[in-house]
């Protein structure tokens, strides 16, 4: 079963996790009382390069929370000593900026909805696969990092902040920078399009940071990550007692962004009923929380984004045409990384320096082979994929120059990497028979078979790796060992 499809919400204990070290990201705190699931969740997170602190009870979880001060918490709502929702509220009172991902079983979805209303970042319903699990963690981490990135720039015509999505000297990005500077000075709505991972939220942040509103709040809301029955409350807020679980007044994203910028990501995922209310808000600037009797006026600049074709969504009847024309005033298209030329090298090298500093490692850059590969690779995951690959390299290697052998298996499995001159095989590879192998050690036989397979496929290590059902990086490491 492939990693993306392997279920991780179904069952198998590892305790641990250390307080955050200077210069390193804080561990993710996992609070789960089932030992088997503790082990599975922690293994998946560790394989993705995350450090994990684990607790099995609510009491232990609150103690570990105070020790490691995590930015992201994975919380099972069904704990043996206390209700998980009460624990979450205690943690958010201590550190409101924490992003809590709640985990629940099928029969407790109402509990998860209640948790979302009380401030949870997202919820997962068991069983879920690795891709969904890691995606939720990544989104929570990115949301936290994006908030930390917000800062005003000293001059109105200065370029956007040098985040990974905006590094690069390509002509394409120069045009993006110019459009951002022009759009930032106005109150016009900005509509950002582009593939997943191209940096749409960071583009929105750049619009905010180069605008006169830079000192005000930047509030981001992902319309596709919030259940539709909660989205109205998330956008416009609610008053205490307006529905079950509304234990306190909540201002909502629109009111929280008063004087600043409201970023609505994945806008095409918004339900039609809420699209109507959003259109009314854009026309009147009036916010009326769920359960409130009177609206209030707010001063908000709207930036929205989608990875879909918004006009196609209009044609399909999934997005209101009048809302489309109200939002699509200043369009900015974030180009895929494959259209940005040498920008990928600048992004990779900047990420390498940043991650190496966080992890306390010393890397000197990319070697010529890796640089050539990165330039010609299509990068379907765009900037996000580059950051993932570089993070993996930094976490799993001690330092030095980044070489082909350091690339993650998941990245190299389907690549045609540059061919090398194979080392002299330990035995002729024209014909392999049982008789020709008898009397040799198992290590010698392995080398003979591997070199013969590579030779049969024209010297292509990736093709040989597919035949042998191993990762190309495994074969590269073995060949390096044979040379030494």
Out of 166-170, 201-205, 261-265, which region has the weakest mean confidence (pLDDT)? 166-170
Reported confidence tier of residue 319, pLDDT bands at 50, 70, 90? very high
Structural contact between residues 61 and 55, judged by C-beta atoms closer than 8 angstroms: yes
Q: Residues for the chain: how many in total?
A: 484
Q: For residue range 425-450, list pLDDT tens digits in order.
A: 444 444 666 667 777 787 888 888 88
| Architecture (CATH level 2) of domain 337-402 | Orthogonal Bundle (1.10)
CATH architecture entry for 150-335:
3-Layer(aba) Sandwich (3.40)
Provide the residue ranges of all domains of the chain, joining segments of one domain with +: 28-141, 150-335, 337-402, 413-484
- Local confidence band at 108 (pLDDT 50, 70, 90 cut-offs): low
Burial class, 396, CB count within 10 angstroms (exposed 0-12 / middle 13-18 / buried 19+): exposed
Q: Quickly state the pLDDT bin for 14 (edges 50, 70, 90).
A: very low
The confidence band for 421, taking pLDDT boundaries of 50, 70 and 90, is very low
Residue 157 has pLDDT above 90, yes or no: no
What span, in angstroms and rounded, lies between the C-alpha atoms of 184 and 210? 6
- C-alpha dihedral (387, 390, 392, 396), degrees to nearest 10: -160
Q: Do the domains 150-335 and 28-141 match in fold?
A: yes
pLDDT of residue 256: 87
d(CA 127, CA 344): 36
Query: Is the predicted pLDDT of residue 261 greater than 90, yes or no?
Result: yes
Architecture label for domain 28-141: 3-Layer(aba) Sandwich (3.40)
Q: 218-237 b/e with 16+ CB inside 10 Å = b?
A: bbbbbbebbeeebbbbbbbb
Q: Report which secondary-structure segment, H or E, holds 112.
A: helix 109-117
More confident residue, 401 or 295: 401
Mean pLDDT of 295-302: 88
DSSP structure string for 184-201: HTS---EEEE--TTS-HH
Per-residue pLDDT band for 301 (boundaries 50, 70, 90) equals: very high
Residue 106 has pLDDT above 70, yes or no: no
Q: Hey, which residues does 83 pair with through a beta bridge?
A: 78
- Nearest residue to 202 (alpha-carbon basis) of 159, 258, 250, 253: 159
Q: Which of 167-171, 197-201, 342-346, 426-430 has the lowest mean pLDDT?
A: 426-430
Q: What is the pLDDT of residue 1?
A: 34
DSSP letters, 313-376, are HHHTTSS-HHHHHHHTTEEEEPPPGGGSTTHHHHHHHHHHHHHHHHHT-EEEEE-HHHHHHHHH
Residue 311 in 3-state DSSP? helix
Helix (H, G, I), strand (E, B) or coil at 266: coil
Cα separation, 9 vs 7, whole angstroms: 6
Average pLDDT over residues 134-152: 62
Contact 285, 277 (CB under 8 A): no
What is the per-residue pLDDT for 24?
61
Average confidence (pLDDT) over 22-27: 65
Alpha-carbon dihedral sign for residues 416, 417, 419, 420:
negative
DSSP 8-state symbol, 58: H
Task: Tell me what pLDDT residue 186 has.
Answer: 85
Contact 23, 60 (CB under 8 A): no
Strand-by-strand arrangement of the 72-76 sheet: 52-55, 28-31, 72-76, 99-104, 122-125
Task: Please give the C-alpha separations between residue 279 and each of 88, 150, 191, 270, 329, in angstroms, as whole numbers.
Answer: 34, 27, 15, 12, 14
Rounded Cα distance between 50 and 458, Å, is: 38
Given a cut of 60, whether residue 9 has pLDDT beyond it is: no
Average pLDDT, the chain: 80
| pLDDT at residue 455, as a whole number | 84
| Alpha helix stretches (DSSP H) within 185-300 | 200-209, 228-236, 253-256, 272-284
Least confident of 12-16, 41-45, 144-148, 313-317: 12-16
Lowest mean pLDDT among 190-204, 247-261, 346-360: 247-261
User: Tokens 């600048």, residue?
Assistant: 346
Q: What is the pTM of this model?
A: 0.57
| 34 pLDDT above the threshold of 80 | yes
């Amino acid at each position: 079963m492939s990693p993306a499809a392997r279920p991780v919400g179904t069952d198998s204990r590892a305790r641990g996790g250390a307080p955050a070290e200077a210069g390193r990201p804080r561990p993710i705190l996992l609070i789960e009382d089932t030992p088997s699931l503790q082990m599975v969740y922690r293994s998946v997170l560790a394989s993705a390069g995350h450090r994990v602190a684990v607790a099995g009870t609510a009491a232990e979880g609150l103690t570990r929370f105070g020790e490691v001060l995590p930015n992201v918490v994975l919380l099972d709502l069904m704990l043996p000593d206390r209700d998980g929702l009460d624990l979450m509220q205690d943690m958010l009172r201590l550190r409101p900026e924490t992003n809590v991902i709640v985990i629940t079983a099928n029969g407790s979805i109402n509990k998860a909805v209640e948790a979302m209303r009380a401030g949870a970042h997202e919820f997962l319903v068991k069983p879920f696969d690795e891709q969904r699990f890691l995606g939720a963690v990544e989104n929570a981490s990115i949301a936290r990092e994006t908030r930390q990135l917000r800062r005003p720039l000293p001059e109105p015509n200065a370029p956007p902040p040098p985040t990974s999505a905006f590094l690069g000297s390509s002509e394409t990005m120069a045009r993006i920078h110019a459009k951002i500077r022009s759009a930032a000075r106005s109150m016009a709505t900005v509509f950002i399009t582009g593939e997943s991972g191209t940096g749409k939220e960071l583009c929105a942040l750049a619009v905010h940071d180069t605008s006169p509103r830079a000192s005000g709040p930047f509030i981001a809301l992902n319309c596709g990550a919030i259940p539709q029955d909660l989205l109205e409350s998330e956008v416009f807020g609610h008053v205490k007692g307006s529905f079950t679980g509304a234990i306190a007044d909540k201002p909502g994203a629109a009111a929280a962004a008063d004087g600043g910028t409201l970023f609505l990501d994945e806008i095409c995922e918004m339900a039609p009923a809420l699209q109507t209310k959003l259109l009314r808000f854009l026309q009147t600037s009036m916010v009326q929380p769920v359960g409130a009797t009177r609206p209030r006026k707010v001063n908000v600049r709207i930036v929205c984004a989608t990875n879909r074709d918004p006009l196609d969504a209009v044609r399909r009847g999934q997005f209101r045409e009048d809302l489309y024309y109200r939002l699509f005033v200043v369009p900015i298209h974030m180009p895929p990384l494959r259209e940005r030329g040498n920008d990928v090298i600048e992004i990779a090298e900047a990420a390498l320096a940043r991650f190496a500093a966080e992890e306390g490692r010393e890397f000197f850059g990319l070697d010529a082979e890796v640089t050539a590969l990165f330039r010609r690779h299509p990068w379907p995951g765009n900037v996000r994929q580059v950051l993932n690959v570089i993070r993996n390299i930094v976490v799993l290697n001690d330092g030095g120059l980044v070489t082909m052998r350091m690339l993650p298996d998941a990245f190299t499995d389907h690549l045609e990497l540059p061919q090398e001159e194979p080392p002299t095989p330990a035995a002729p590879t024209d014909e392999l028979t049982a008789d020709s192998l008898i009397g040799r050690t198992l290590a010698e036989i392995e080398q003979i078979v591997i070199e013969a397979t590579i030779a049969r496929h024209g010297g292509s290590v990736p093709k040989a790796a597919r035949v042998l059902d191993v990762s190309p990086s495994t074969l590269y490491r073995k060949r390096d060992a044979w040379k030494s």
